[in-house]
Structure 1
Amino acid sequence: MLNERLSAARKIASGLHQAEDAIDETMIRIAHLAAALPAARRDTNMSAIVGQEAVAKVANALAAAGEVRQLLTDAHIALTATQKQVGLGARMFGAGVKPPASASLVDDDGLGAEVARLPLARAS
């Protein structure tokens, strides 16, 4: 049963990190597009009204991607709590917080070292 939970945690962690990386890449690409639009308008000496609707849509897309990223980080935090609920315990430290030097990675079940290698609580 523990092996199944560990396997599921690995799959979930991998999927979560891929999704976080994907939304970050999406935001980077949208931001580059958002920067290119006014630069192109300026470089071609066009009126500020030219392409304004497109600029506004791209800005809204970037804001929407930011909302998606927030939802993913909220899910990341929720999954860290879920990890403990399913018996994998709080054996890792996330959100960029380093464990105290004296912290033990082994819980009562002696499985802390195995679970500690799971990247579920990786800082985003």
Structure 2
Amino acid sequence: MKILLVDDDSVHLLILRKIFEKSNEEVVVAHNGLEALEYLETDPFFNVILTDIMMPVMDGVEFLNHLKESPQTSQIPTIGFTAGDVEYFREKSKNRFDSLVSKPMDFYDLYSLAKSKASLNYI
């Protein structure tokens, strides 16, 4: 499985990366939505994307909008996570996230959710 992790929090990235790599998953890390889009321009073949919502440069909702507009990336399951109001971001994103979870989160639950979403999208 190939995962794109998008978060500006280095601790979250480290923990999630370790959890996925422990299962021999391929992990690519981006620190904001713009950086993630740059990765996707050269390699759109991810099984799942996990993204924080509140980030500098380009937040997770704006990133999601760009992601869903592109025919190459629109079908990639996308899981958002936020310390903010989940319902607010669900409305703001027009409910386009495949899942939206609140922080603090159990990283292993997030891992399981990503695995289940990705299993529907193996390339």
Q: TM-score, normalised by structure 2?
A: 0.25
Indicate the structure (1 or 2) with the bigger Cα radius of gyration: 1
More strand by percentage: 2
| Greater RCO, 1 or 2 (C-alpha within 8 Å, sep 6+) | 1
More helix by percentage: 1
